[in-house]
Amino acid sequence: MFTPKMKLADLIAANHNIILLLPRFGIPLGFGEKSVRDVCSAHNVPADFMVLICNVYTYDDYLPDIKQLAATDMRPLATYLKESHRYYTLERLPHIEEHLHHIADRIGGRYEQILKQFYADFRNEIEAHFQCEEQYDFPRLLSLQEGIKGKSIAMSHSQKSHGGLVDKLNDLTQIVYKYLPGNVLPEETMELVFDILQLSADIQKHALIEEKILIPYVNYLERSLK
Amino acid sequence: MKPLQSVLIVEPSEIVYQGLRSLLVETGRFNILAQLAEATSLDDRLPSIRPDLLIVNPTLLSSTPKQQLASYARLRPAMPVVALVYQYVERSLLDNFRYVIDIRDTRSTLLATISSALNSDISENDNAGQSDNYELSDRETDVLVLVAKGLSSKEIADKLHISVHTVNSHRKNITHKTGIRSVAGLAVYAMIHNLMET
């Protein structure tokens, strides 16, 4: 498991996906040989929170329990999740769409409309899901963190909708590499498959953080404010 | 050659047992152990019989089926258990089984269910018992088209005059064969393969 004392570069050497998390914490590249603790304190990020997220992204069977959450500085949680949404909606989803459309246009025929429609529906669904969380769940977390109890409402998102979104991304990869004509833009098609798989893996961890950290943490704050 | 999988069938009906037996033997992948007509002594016998797969009529289980299945799992941790259904079985009883075959299943559906039961429980480098036919059967294609059109399992069952349970078993096999889970993804599959003409 990672600790704040370790070199940030060693975390990335152990799991290169962590490099994609840095912008969500506001940490730029070029950190040299500094420890996680030093890099974090230079950018006003609680090191224990960052290490917790990196551990979830790296160790598949790791999940912090409520005691550990209570002992961690969780203030950046809402910001972190929002930044993840930004990365998905403003960078990855448009990037994947651009390549998918390019490939669909080149193949033409019935494939073109079918693929574009599937992706458009998926994108609407996931963006609505993010929006709902940002509108209801994150503000609720923030006010609880400030000690304001407010009305107790059920968190908007559910495991089921996360599972459905991940299924659709995985279905898309299957469709792209199994059923599209293989001779049209093969290199771009393979890159597209990798891009979608990468996004899918990222979103699965993101969903895990929302289901197994955000929700229990909100419930914990609610109980402790009684 | 891959080693044969030993199958124990717990089923009182001779007709049902012989039918299932010949279907499984035909594939050349299974070794069928002697028929057991009741499940009462199964606990004692599992350690010596050592089957790779247990197919059991769920109505033969005791009044505490969950505990009974848990005890089989303790005795033979790698042995999947498949329920064999041909009469009315309580939903709550059936829910204890991950794999269910129905007497009305087609040959390919039945074998696919058994393959997936074995496949998910045997080590990765040993794929004995796994069917190598991944093409959809005609019935599975019928179900796929109706799923793609947005019908529920209940509606599909009514339309095709089969049980909801059989529909779900087809749906499981479709996902197993195509790797596609979502209804939207299955709709894309159906359209790409020109199945949505009618």
Hey, where are the domains in chain A? 8-62, 77-224
Looking at residue B198, its pLDDT comes to: 53
| Candidate from B181, B187, B192 with C-beta closest to A179 | B192
What is d(CA A174, CA B178) in angstroms, rounded to the nearest whole number? 8
List the domain boundaries for chain B.
5-119, 138-192
pLDDT at A27 over 70: yes
If you average pLDDT over each of A22-26, B5-9, B103-107, B115-119, which comes out highest? A22-26
B5-119 shares its CATH topology with B138-192: no
| Lowest-confidence pick of B6-10, B46-50, B138-142, B194-198 | B194-198
Q: Does B189 touch chain A (CB under 8 A)?
A: yes
Phi-psi region of B169 (alpha: psi -120 to 50; beta: other; left: phi over 0): alpha
Among residues of chain B, what percentage have pLDDT more than 70?
92
Q: Does B175 touch chain A (CB under 8 A)?
A: no
Prediction pTM value: 0.68
Mapped onto helix, strand or coil, the DSSP state of residue B174 is helix
> What CATH class has B138-192?
mainly alpha
Across chain A, mean pLDDT equals: 93
Q: Mutate which of A171, A176, A177, A193 to test chain B, going by most B C-beta atoms within 10 A?
A: A171
**Angstroms from A122 CA to nearest CA on chain B:** 9
pLDDT at B130 over 50: no
Q: Which fold has domain B5-119?
A: Rossmann fold (3.40.50)
Place of tokens 């409402």: A153
Per residue in A34-80, pLDDT tens? 999 999 999 999 999 999 999 999 998 899 999 999 999 999 999 99
Per residue in B70-109, pLDDT tens? 888 888 888 999 999 988 888 888 888 989 999 888 888 8
Give the number of A-B residue pairs with CB atoms closer than 8 Å.
45
ipTM: 0.85
Question: Could you please report the per-residue DSSP string of chain A?
Answer: ---TTSBHHHHHHH-GGGGGTHHHHT--S--TT-BHHHHHHHTT--HHHHHHHHHHHH-TT----HHHHHHS--TTHHHHHHHHHHIIIIIIHHHHHHHHHHHHHHH-HHHHHHHHHHHHHHHHHHHHHHHHIIIIIHHHHHHHHTT--------S--HHHHHHHHHHHHHHHHIIIIIS-TTSSHHHHHHHHHHHHHHHHHHHHHHHHIIIIIHHHHHHHHHHT-
What is d(CA B15, CA B63) in angstroms, rounded to the nearest whole number? 26
**Angstroms from A175 CA to nearest CA on chain B:** 7
